[in-house]
Amino acid sequence: MIHIGDKIGLYRALNVSEALTSQEIAEVTGTSERWVREWCANQVAARIVEADHANPQQPRYSLSLEARAVLADPDHPAFGMGMFHRLPATMERLADLPEAFSSGVGFDYDAHGHEGAVGIERSFEPWSNTFLLPVVLPALHGVIEKLRSGAKVADIGCGAGSALLLMAKEFPNSTFVGYDISQYALARANEKASDLGLDNVRFVNPKNEAIANDHSIDFVTTFDCLHDMTRPQQMVQSIFEMLKIDGSWLLVEIKAMNTLAENVQKNPMAALMYGISILSCMASALSEKDGEGLGTLGLSRERAQSFATSAGFTNFDVLDITHSVNAFYEIRP
């Protein structure tokens, strides 16, 4: 019901100051009142939409300020419709799971199709649009200065390119390349870059153009993707070989503990995350035979630091950035 409320604009219709009847919502959205009325009943029962029952035969419906932020305002950093956007594509993978449990081999993100890529984009864009430039980048050692003067930047697992495009627009003297293996995500990234008219950014599939390994890159970013990779330790080694000796790697990852007991005790979203791991993150991390299969909660700070140290990095800093789901690390040679 949350998915359909987003899909056909019911939450957006409710993103107004006055409460609306089901008939008014239907008129705004061009939908059938009877269907809208039943949806509203579901949402009120679920304590998502609020109802004024002054007229019991014709309640008036509204969203709290918090609900507007999460459900109806794509510009708010707490907007949460991305995962609901990709719900149908994700649930279609249920048909693949018996074979995956039997064979041990999962499926990559392109198995979720175009809408899966858009859902991931909508999930991470709102927070990044608000905080990446003013909060995250200034927390890194000397990165802002390099970007202003002209740096080479690579985003590994760039998805639809949201973060890279923000940086490319803000820092025209620098050059940016995004790597991803998803054809759907790369198509979205190239479309958005074209719309913005940016000529200092490009997006490529590393299967077609190998990642640089000549210590020529000033700044590397990975946003919520290392735990999805089949061979994350190998990727960390590749990142070390990309970076200049004075370069920086921004690793953004899901907050995770070392054990199941710790994750269950300290993470109120643990059940959701382990479930989505089977349907998405771990499935991707096991999409090739002998993949490491970290999964959503598989990359704790300690494991990330171990990967970095094994690859040759000597500096591993936890950044003081508040986020409900992610941890932020700056890693340097």
pLDDT in tens for each of the 333 residues of the chain? 999 999 999 999 999 999 999 999 999 999 999 999 999 999 999 999 999 999 999 999 999 999 999 999 999 999 999 999 999 999 999 999 999 999 999 999 999 999 999 999 999 999 999 999 999 999 999 999 999 999 999 999 999 999 999 999 999 999 999 999 999 999 999 999 999 999 999 999 999 999 999 999 999 999 999 999 999 999 999 999 999 999 999 999 999 999 999 999 999 999 999 999 999 999 999 999 999 999 999 999 999 999 999 999 999 999 999 998 999 999 999
Residue pair 71/6 in contact by the 8 Å Cβ criterion: yes
Nearest to residue 83, comparing CAs of 140, 146, 125? 125
If one looks up domain 2-73 in CATH, what number appears?
A: 1.10.10.10
Residue pair 67/48 in contact by the 8 Å Cβ criterion: yes
Contacts of 102 (CB under 8 A, 6+ apart): none
pTM for the full model? 0.93
Tell me yes or no: is domain 87-332 CATH 2.60.120.380.
no
Decide if 2-73 and 87-332 have a common fold.
no
pLDDT in tens, 292-315: 999 999 999 999 999 999 999 999
Domain extents for the chain? 2-73, 87-332
In this predicted structure, what is the pLDDT of residue 22? 98
For 13, 133, 154, 167, 178, the CA distances from 200, given in Å and listed in that order, are 38, 17, 12, 10, 11
Which amino acid belongs to residue 248?
A: S
Q: Is 140 helix (H, G, I), strand (E, B) or coil?
A: coil
